[in-house]
């Protein structure tokens, strides 16, 4: 189960990631509001832990925007005691629960579990583009039924391309998704796409992972060409 933590206090965010990973969750981090909104929109998460006071875009606006777009991912808001937004306002924007800082880690984990139970969050979907499938929860990739072993970064790149279903995805978006903590370096993406092609395309005589000149990449169902 994947959780998105949107928190600009990097130490706190990393502590949360370490703790929640030990609880068996997969955790992605966003350190500013715009990145957090963008990542939450992918719909890849069973739950979002959202700080309210964030650079770029505050949590109050992120929450309201997600609900306006019909995104129903459960959101647990972290509020500072003397924060600009109080708990009532957080719930008004569509958050499902809140926790005031400083909070007990044990309480946080208990609240997260309760939220997931209440929301009855279904298992994340299996994404499919042609005969390539990605089991997001199990982190399993298959081509024509054959299991293909991917590194976590490769899986993240392929997952975002699969979610966009044939649409071009920029190198910047792929970087944000797969290397949220890294500075912009297109070489990271290019190298990962090359290794992905060697795994999911070449052995199967396929060309599904295509370069879109001037933009980035897309993942298509290329079976009809055969």
Query: Residues in the site for Ca ion, rule: CB under 5 A?
Result: 8, 51, 53
Q: Each residue of 60-90: b (16+ CB within 10 Å) or e? A: bebbebbeeeebebbbbbbbeeebebebebb
Half-sphere exposure of 180 (CA within 13 A, CB side): 22
Q: Which is nearer to Ca ion, 20 or 53 (CB)?
A: 53
* CB 135, min distance to Ca ion, A: 34
Three-state DSSP class for 62?
helix
* CB 9, min distance to Ca ion, A: 6
Q: Which is nearer to Ca ion, 130 or 180 (CB)?
A: 180
- Cβ-Cβ contacts under 8 Å for 8 (sequence gap 6 or more): 31, 32, 51, 53, 54, 55
Q: Which is nearer to Ca ion, 53 or 219 (CB)?
A: 53
Q: Which is nearer to Ca ion, 8 or 135 (CB)?
A: 8
C-alpha to C-alpha distances, 150 to 2, 65, 87, 195, nearest whole angstrom:
18, 34, 42, 9
Q: Is 128:108 a contact under the CB 8 Å cutoff?
A: no
* CB 59, min distance to Ca ion, A: 8
Residue with tokens 């208990």: 110
Q: Which is nearer to Ca ion, 65 or 133 (CB)?
A: 65
Which has the closest alpha carbon to 29: 46, 52, 12, 53? 12
* CB 54, min distance to Ca ion, A: 6
* CB 215, min distance to Ca ion, A: 33
Q: Which is nearer to Ca ion, 51 or 173 (CB)?
A: 51
* CB 83, min distance to Ca ion, A: 8
């Amino acid at each position: 189960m994947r959780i998105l933590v949107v928190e600009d206090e990097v130490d706190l965010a990393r502590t949360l990631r370490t703790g929640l990973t030990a609880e068996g969750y997969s955790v992605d981090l966003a350190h500013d509001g715009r990145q957090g909104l963008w990542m939450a929109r992918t719909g890849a998460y069973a739950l979002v832990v959202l700080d309210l006071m964030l650079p770029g875009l505050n949590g109050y606006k992120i929450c309201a925007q997600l609900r306006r777009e019909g995104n129903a991912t459960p959101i647990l808001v972290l509020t500072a005691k003397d924060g600009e937004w109080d708990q009532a306002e957080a719930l008004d924007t569509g958050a499902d629960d809140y926790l005031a800082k400083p909070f007990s880690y044990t309480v946080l984990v208990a609240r997260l579990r309760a939220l997931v139970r209440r929301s009855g969050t279904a298992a994340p979907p299996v994404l499919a583009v042609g005969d390539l499938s990605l089991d997001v929860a199990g982190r399993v990739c298959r081509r024509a039924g054959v299991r293909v072993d991917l590194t976590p970064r490769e899986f993240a790149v392929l997952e975002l391309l699969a979610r966009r279903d044939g649409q071009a995805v920029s190198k910047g978006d792929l970087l944000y998704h797969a290397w949220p903590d890294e500075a912009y370096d297109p070489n990271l993406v290019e190298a990962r796409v090359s290794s992905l092609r060697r795994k999911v395309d070449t052995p199967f005589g396929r060309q599904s992972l295509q370069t879109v000149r001037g933009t980035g990449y897309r993942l298509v169902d290329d079976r009809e060409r055969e």
